[in-house]
Amino acid sequence: MKKIFAVPTTNGELTQHFGHCEQFAIVETEDNKILKEEFVVPPLHQPGVYPKYLADRGVHVIIAGGMGQKAQELFAMNNIEVYVGITADSPHKLVQYYLDEQLEAGDNLCDH
């Protein structure tokens, strides 16, 4: 089964501030194997923009550090799973942890 992941990054690693990322790593997988990874610059951050932008790119799962509750609700409305409280690492490793069922969520560090 094909799944597309989005990981908000700064300097090539997961950023703890979802709405202030430099780029999204878009990672395509199929049958638990990573097929492709690309970095894309997101549109200007405004409420409600990222959920539509990532849904339009076919994203199924977001791996994030911190994310506000409203953003999580908007992603859920777009049928996108959200994992928050994840420790910074490379997008490739984080997606592989997910595929290996070893991705550990922690505390959501965003308070809005």
What is each CA distance from 2 to 5, 27, 36, 102, 109, in whole angstroms? Answer: 10, 11, 12, 19, 30
Q: Which of 65, 11, 64, 71 is nearest to 39 (CA)?
A: 11
Q: Using CA atoms, how far apart are residues 89 and 86, in angstroms rounded to an integer?
A: 9
Which tokens in the block code for residue 64?
């994030």
**CATH topology classification for 2-16+27-99:** Nucleotidyltransferase; domain 5 (3.30.420)
pLDDT in tens, 53-64: 999 999 999 999
Predicted confidence band of residue 111 (pLDDT cuts 50, 70, 90): low
Predicted confidence band of residue 109 (pLDDT cuts 50, 70, 90): low
Q: Which of 24, 58, 50 is nearest to 39 (CA)?
A: 24
pLDDT in tens, 64-105: 998 988 889 999 999 999 999 999 999 999 999 999 999 988
Predicted confidence band of residue 14 (pLDDT cuts 50, 70, 90): very high
pTM of this structure: 0.93
pLDDT for residue 106 is more than 90 = no
